Structure 1
Amino acid sequence: MNIISVTKASLPVLLLPAALSTSAWAADNEQTMIVSATPQTVSELDSPAAVSVVQGEDIRHAAPRVNLSESLSSVPGLQVQNRQNYAQDLQLSIRGFGSRSTYGVRGIRLYVDGIPATMPDGQGQTSNIDLNSVESIDVLRGPFSALYGNASGGVMNVTTETGREPATIEASSYYGSFGSWRYGLKATGAMGDGTHAGDVDYTASSTRFVTHGYRDRSGARKNLANAKLGVRIDDVSKLSLIFNSVDIKADDAGGLTESEWRDNPRQSPRAEQYHTRKTIKQTQAGLRYERQLSAQDDLSVMMYAGERETTQYQSIPRAPQLNATHAGGVIDLTRHYQGIDTRWTHRGELGVPVTFTGGLNYENMSEARKGYENFIMNGTTPEYGQKGNLRRDERNLMWNVDPYLQTAWQLTDKLSLDAGVRYSSVWFDSNDHYITAQNGDDSGEANYHKWLPAGSLKYAVTPAWNVYVAAGRGFETPTINELSYRSGNQSGLNFALKPSTNDTVEIGSKTRIGNGLLTAALFRTDTDNEIVTDTNSGGRTTYKNAGETRRQGAELSLDQQFAGNWRAKMAWTYLDATYRSEVCTDGGCNGNRIPGIARNMGFASLGWIPDQGWYAGADVRYMSDIMANDENTAKAPSYTVAGLNTGYKFSYGNWMMDVFGRVDNLFDREYVGSVIVNEGNNRYYEPAPGRNYGVGLSVAYQFE
């Protein structure tokens, strides 16, 4: 019986509460999803939305285990690009939402074991995700992201491994081009099978990664730790403790003009001059309580808190900073964040099996933001890369309170209806503590509210073939960073920036073919007041609202296992994303492509992957050209890159070993890995490396 239980720690709980009534009914229906307090794996086939699941074993197979970009190219609709810049994180977008981001992740909700990796304002990061201990990554694209509140493009949920018997310890390492290496250590295990009072499960992992970087002044050092401890309190309740810590020190190579890129893609002239760099320290912990109240009712409570410290040196010349209203070239941030999500689920029958899930989500974040000049004077000469005079000092607070209700009805054996609504409220308050004669009090506040409905109708044509139609509304507020600066070197916060809303309609089909899954989706999203890049210079970005935009396209994917140990993956995305009104002041950008978004993306891989012995694989990835500015006068060319890997797995008694080698960009293509949208000095391009190599080794021991 295919029964799937989920919570916020697992993607579908906020996504799709499917219907059920009694155990007898469930036993007769193989396509039921149960919303309860126990996280399990989401069913891609049965979910009436565009959902892709990437398993942790696939993420770690013959891979460096450093970046999500290594393993998510097989997800249609997801554009994930490695900037080769660990100061700015990956460039991640779903159906084009998030493409404007110059660092971090916007427009997408990120969760790691139920703890948001996206702050209440919508700013997220992937730097705290430990690929060494990932169980699965669920990627939701489209309208049901509305049920998560402050996001437009979709949701990415990362679930780490739950310890099981026997206890296992694993050491892994990777050595690659450009002085890159990674060491990792992981321990998993359990006492008991998790069903009796006093049973305990645990997973703990740590990773250290160091690289000199492909480009000049792009080196980085990253330390990461992750732990999860579960305790069965009694037969109906469980308590889980989750801990995560990341410490990053990275140089910031910055962007290049087209001529600089073609002349020498490895150069980094501004980084040399200004010593641009960034340090990040983040620690967080969460507590999840799950209780089965009765045969029909479940309760889940998730609480978390964390701290994130960031210091960044930017490539801003001295002259602009002499303006009395300028905030300086050094950003110094300390953020404290916490939240609680309480959920009740009831399963019953109202003529047909039905499920209700109601909950209340509260999150808040306080931020101490300071700005300093990025130079000190040595006589009449500025020495850049040094913290100078204070130029900004403010205290920002943002919080949200979101009640939500979901329901699912199994109307017939083949037809099901899912619907939900969330009322999202976000408040922002800023207190300015840097006030001078030339720089007035820029304190202010803003609040945003929106009803977010979503619904879907699914029909099971056969037990192995589902078709669905879905619709929903998304809501995205400005982040604190997007509110922080105004164009034209004006002082104060950008309170003229409004939240964006979007409406999506989607139809899709999912078919099980032997040991494979074929999925297809057509969608259209219309957005009002989309938040877009206004100006971008010296590492500092300002934002504005466009009038209307439209995204429409198609997604196709196949994950097929055949002939025993052969496995093929294919994905194709067509995305037509255009401005429709009020982008450029003269209206000349209406009809232009939205920058940062590829119109076509393709991926294919083929591998021989037995449980033990020799294995090998090849993959190819295509990205069409990407516009770099609103006027569409600059673009990054299209490219196709290929990679190969091979390795050998074997076991001896309680020992297991895996050794592998890989080569990426096999044909040494010169291409742009990502673009900086609307960069004011035409430094749009962040080059990708040429042909590069790596070898890895992992050794595990089971205590039996």
Structure 2
Amino acid sequence: MKIISARRASLPLLFVPVVFGPLSAMAAEEQTLIVSATPQAVSELDTPAAVSVVRGEDLRHAAPRINLSESLGSVPGLQIQNRQNYAQDLQLSVRGFGARSTFGVRGIRMYVDGIPATMPDGQGQTSNIDLSSVESIDVLRGPFSALYGNASGGVININTQTGQQPPVVEASSYYGSYGTWRYGMKATGAVGDGTQAGDVDYAVSTTRFTTHGYRDHSGARKNLANAKLGVRIDDASKLTLIFNSVDMKANDPGGLSYQEWQNNPRQSPRGDQYNTRKTIKQTQAGIRYDRQLSAQDDLSVMMYAGEREMTQYQSIPDTAQTVNRAHSGGVIDMQRHYQGIDTRWTHRGELLVPVTFTTGLNYENMSENRRGYENFVMNNGAPDYGVKGDKRRDERNLMWNLDPYLQTQWQLTQKLSVEAGVRYSSVWFDSNDRYITPQNGDDSGDASYHKWLPAGAVKYAVTDAWNLYAAAGRGFETPTINELSYRPDGKGGLNINLQPSTNNTYEVGSKTRIGNGILTAALFRTDTDNEIVVDTNNDGRTSYKNAGKTRRQGVEIALDQQFAENWKLKMAWTYLDATYRTNVCNNADCSGNRMPGIARNMGYASLGWEPEEGWYAGADARYMSDVMANDANTAKAPSYTVVGLNTGYKLNYGKWGMDIFGRVDNLFDKTYSGSEIVNASRDRYYEPAPGRNYGVGLSVSYRFE
């Protein structure tokens, strides 16, 4: 049986959108948001969009440096939770986009030094991010995130450190509860000041992480390496080489029903029975060329390539595979190759008023060989699980995108500016079935999706320290390869009824500089058609469907403040009302229900005494309201508040530096679900979080001055 699904549109002949945007005439050195994968400076105050910048120093302060979830709680609108399951990655969503993901990251574009951590189909991961070498993390929410193309309900851009003088070598380690151990080395430095031909900068980091895990069958180990080398070619150009590698093995404890959670939150009955686990090996490299063509023109070219190998053993009973001969098995064996290029040209000038425009072309492609096997062999008439058995799937999947984009910026008056951009996103998917039997026909198929993605904003500078803005934009999200691969009826073949979702977002906001800090507030609403949601989740196999219409609306407020020289205060609150506007349930009317996996209220507060040297201490508190676990809203995870404390000592002695700290998390031993598996089969929604836990860390550095 040949299955072909296609949704095609022709590229209009005229690519002449009228777009505008702000260019700060009073501070030309401040760069506002640039729609490109190439890392750029982001101004929280001047960018007419909801954007938060988190410094690498804050990420590493008295922290294990293992997961992004440790330190991004201060970002409003970002819901990031640790599943306590390294086989399935963090659960991450921005204003509700990505909340449906049962593993990995969906609906959010992620970049590390300009290299996408999100594939062309919108599927991403955080496992290759080295927190020890992060310089900054930019989190973009709202209309302008749509200008990053497919599956950009939010954008997370990670920039790693660029080496500078003097050279520094650092060794760091962390040891915590449940046998958690991380240790690593980092070296940064430069030859020259980076302005002369032949100047070189470098940053190299390597980390090893191991843990027994809080839950049974949740142990993991990960080796991670990251390197960046910059070479100044001449006065006008620079070449940067980037390398990243991750090698990980992790057991998968799976989800629990509410009764299982209450009886014993650390148990893993399916993990023990099926020996569920995952191994990942990924290596990627990139090269970025930046050249100043003239005083008004800049050129940037980013090229990258990588490969990823993954093997996963799932908790699927043998009967589900033997009864249905079209079943693809309980073992996924995948090899993936991906590469891309992003070329960007920026021009600054005047056309009655100061104007800047950026235009570029982004191309990405991915090819994967995906095979499925039974996760058992028969031994004396009984299944022996956790062993690769007979082949049940063999296919080659291709996906690629070609996206031209344009953004211009106009400073209409000293106080008033407008900004807008447009991207024409085209995504192609093609699957070639190489496993054809009498019981399993040819399930090959293809699909293509095309969409104009415009966005615009108006900014008014009330004072030099207070900006107001309004923004609007359209985004879209295609199904991922995994989401297209499985049909709700359990039969083989592509899920041809699954269509991309489209959304329109409107936002107004205020940003105010207060002393050494910033206060931001945003009011937003997003209406989505054909929202992609979980349909069925049975025996480890998840299928998806379109949900008609949904609405997300809410408020985000954040304060990042430093006062009295050494005191630091961070506060954030998010109210997010995410509901279905049409029925998505098979056996009941769910219109008006809350969307699962999304907290209606989230709060964060931290206060710390952080001098340059000597003793320091801090406390943080995180609140999350209850979270619905299924579309019918018949199950939910209760609300919770957790508190953490840390203290440490920093010492600088000549060329040596030392930082030693201790911390306790979940101080009051709160019992709560750290994340939820949306619409999980047999009501196994809950992934319990650990109770009170402890950790100590040490870093020692030496400066070659």
Task: Report the TM-score when normalising by structure 1.
Answer: 0.96
How far is 1:538 from its partner?
2.6
Aligned 8 A contact 2:426 2:450 in 1: yes
Which residue in the other structure is 2:576 paired with?
A: 575
Aligned 8 A contact 2:503 2:528 in 1: yes
Aligned-partner Cα distance in 2 for 1:553–1:278: 37
The C-alpha deviation readout for 1:428-459, integer Å capped at 9, x for no partner, is 00000000001000000000000000000000
Count of aligned residue pairs for this structure pair: 685
Q: SS of the residue aligned with 1:489?
A: coil
Q: SS of the residue aligned with 1:536?
A: strand
Range that drifts further, 34-43 or 250-259: 34-43
Which residue in the other structure is 2:418 paired with?
A: 417
Which residue in the other structure is 1:352 paired with?
A: 353
Which residue in the other structure is 1:245 paired with?
A: 245
How far is 1:286 from its partner?
0.3
Q: Letter of the aligned partner of 2:638 in structure 1?
A: P
Q: Equivalent residues in 2 for 1:261-272 (5 A)?
A: 261-272=261-272
Aligned 8 A contact 1:221 1:250 in 2: yes
Range that drifts further, 70-79 or 485-494: 485-494
How far is 1:581 from its partner?
0.9
How far is 1:40 from its partner?
5.1
Which residue in the other structure is 2:306 paired with?
A: 306
Aligned-partner Cα distance in 2 for 1:267–1:33: 49
Q: Letter of the aligned partner of 2:310 in structure 1?
A: T
Which residue in the other structure is 1:130 paired with?
A: 130
Aligned-partner Cα distance in 2 for 1:314–1:34: 42
Which residue in the other structure is 1:290 paired with?
A: 290
How far is 1:496 from its partner?
1.2
Distance 1:525 1:236, change over 3 A: same
Aligned 8 A contact 2:39 2:157 in 1: no
How far is 1:493 from its partner?
1.2
Q: Are residue 199 (structure 1) and residue 203 (structure 2) matched?
A: no
The C-alpha deviation readout for 1:56-87, integer Å capped at 9, x for no partner, is 00000000000000000000000000000000
Q: Equivalent residues in 2 for 1:638-653 (5 A)?
A: 638-653=639-654
Aligned 8 A contact 1:397 1:428 in 2: yes
How far is 1:491 from its partner?
0.9
Aligned 8 A contact 1:313 1:329 in 2: yes
Which residue in the other structure is 1:3 paired with?
A: none
How far is 1:587 from its partner?
5.7
Aligned-partner Cα distance in 2 for 1:388–1:30: 61
Q: Letter of the aligned partner of 2:489 in structure 1?
A: G
Aligned 8 A contact 1:581 1:587 in 2: no
Aligned-partner Cα distance in 2 for 1:39–1:269: 44
Which residue in the other structure is 1:507 paired with?
A: 508
Q: Equivalent residues in 2 for 1:155-194 (5 A)?
A: 155-194=155-194
The C-alpha deviation readout for 1:356-405, integer Å capped at 9, x for no partner, is 11111000000100000000111201100000000000000000000011
Aligned 8 A contact 2:417 2:458 in 1: yes
Distance 1:62 1:374, change over 3 A: same
Distance 1:409 1:680, change over 3 A: same
Which residue in the other structure is 2:616 paired with?
A: 615
Q: Equivalent residues in 2 for 1:119-518 (5 A)?
A: 119-322=119-322, 323-518=324-519
Aligned 8 A contact 2:403 2:423 in 1: yes
Aligned-partner Cα distance in 2 for 1:164–1:230: 10
The C-alpha deviation readout for 1:213-262, integer Å capped at 9, x for no partner, is 00000000000000000000000000000000001100000000000000
Aligned 8 A contact 2:331 2:372 in 1: yes
Q: Letter of the aligned partner of 2:578 in structure 1?
A: A
Which residue in the other structure is 2:3 paired with?
A: none
The C-alpha deviation readout for 1:543-587, integer Å capped at 9, x for no partner, is 000000000000000011111111110000000000011412356
Aligned 8 A contact 2:225 2:246 in 1: yes
Q: SS of the residue aligned with 2:405?
A: strand
Aligned 8 A contact 1:18 1:34 in 2: no
How far is 1:17 from its partner?
8.9
Q: SS of the residue aligned with 1:438?
A: coil
How far is 1:146 from its partner?
1.0
Distance 1:193 1:31, change over 3 A: closer
Which residue in the other structure is 1:10 paired with?
A: none
The C-alpha deviation readout for 1:263-298, integer Å capped at 9, x for no partner, is 000000000000000001100000000111111111
Aligned 8 A contact 2:21 2:420 in 1: no
Distance 1:40 1:343, change over 3 A: closer
Which residue in the other structure is 2:80 paired with?
A: 80
Q: SS of the residue aligned with 2:48?
A: coil
Aligned-partner Cα distance in 1 for 2:696–2:514: 35
Aligned-partner Cα distance in 1 for 2:188–2:354: 39
Aligned-partner Cα distance in 1 for 2:659–2:596: 42
Aligned 8 A contact 1:18 1:32 in 2: no
Q: SS of the residue aligned with 1:487?
A: coil
Aligned 8 A contact 1:36 1:298 in 2: no
How far is 1:31 from its partner?
6.3
Aligned-partner Cα distance in 1 for 2:237–2:517: 36
Aligned-partner Cα distance in 2 for 1:144–1:216: 42
Q: Letter of the aligned partner of 1:299 in structure 2?
A: L
How far is 1:36 from its partner?
11
Q: Letter of the aligned partner of 1:108 in structure 2?
A: I
Aligned-partner Cα distance in 2 for 1:35–1:394: 38
Which residue in the other structure is 1:594 paired with?
A: 595
Which residue in the other structure is 1:117 paired with?
A: 117
Q: SS of the residue aligned with 1:324?
A: coil
Distance 1:40 1:424, change over 3 A: closer
Aligned 8 A contact 2:35 2:148 in 1: no
Aligned-partner Cα distance in 1 for 2:31–2:77: 26
Aligned-partner Cα distance in 2 for 1:124–1:448: 19
Q: SS of the residue aligned with 1:440?
A: coil
Q: SS of the residue aligned with 1:481?
A: helix
Unaligned runs of 5+ in 2: 1-18
Q: Letter of the aligned partner of 2:151 in structure 1?
A: A
How far is 1:681 from its partner?
1.0
Q: SS of the residue aligned with 1:320?
A: helix
Q: Equivalent residues in 2 for 1:484-563 (5 A)?
A: 484-563=485-564
Distance 1:76 1:423, change over 3 A: same
Q: Equivalent residues in 2 for 1:49-64 (5 A)?
A: 49-64=49-64
Q: SS of the residue aligned with 2:682?
A: coil
Aligned 8 A contact 1:18 1:33 in 2: no
Task: Report the TM-score when normalising by structure 2.
Answer: 0.96
How far is 1:537 from its partner?
2.3
Q: SS of the residue aligned with 1:214?
A: coil
Aligned-partner Cα distance in 2 for 1:530–1:32: 34
Unaligned runs of 5+ in 1: 1-15
Q: Letter of the aligned partner of 1:702 in structure 2?
A: R
Aligned-partner Cα distance in 2 for 1:690–1:33: 42
Aligned-partner Cα distance in 1 for 2:331–2:418: 52
Which residue in the other structure is 1:9 paired with?
A: none
Q: Are residue 103 (structure 1) and residue 103 (structure 2) matched?
A: yes
Aligned-partner Cα distance in 2 for 1:346–1:360: 15
How far is 1:26 from its partner?
4.4
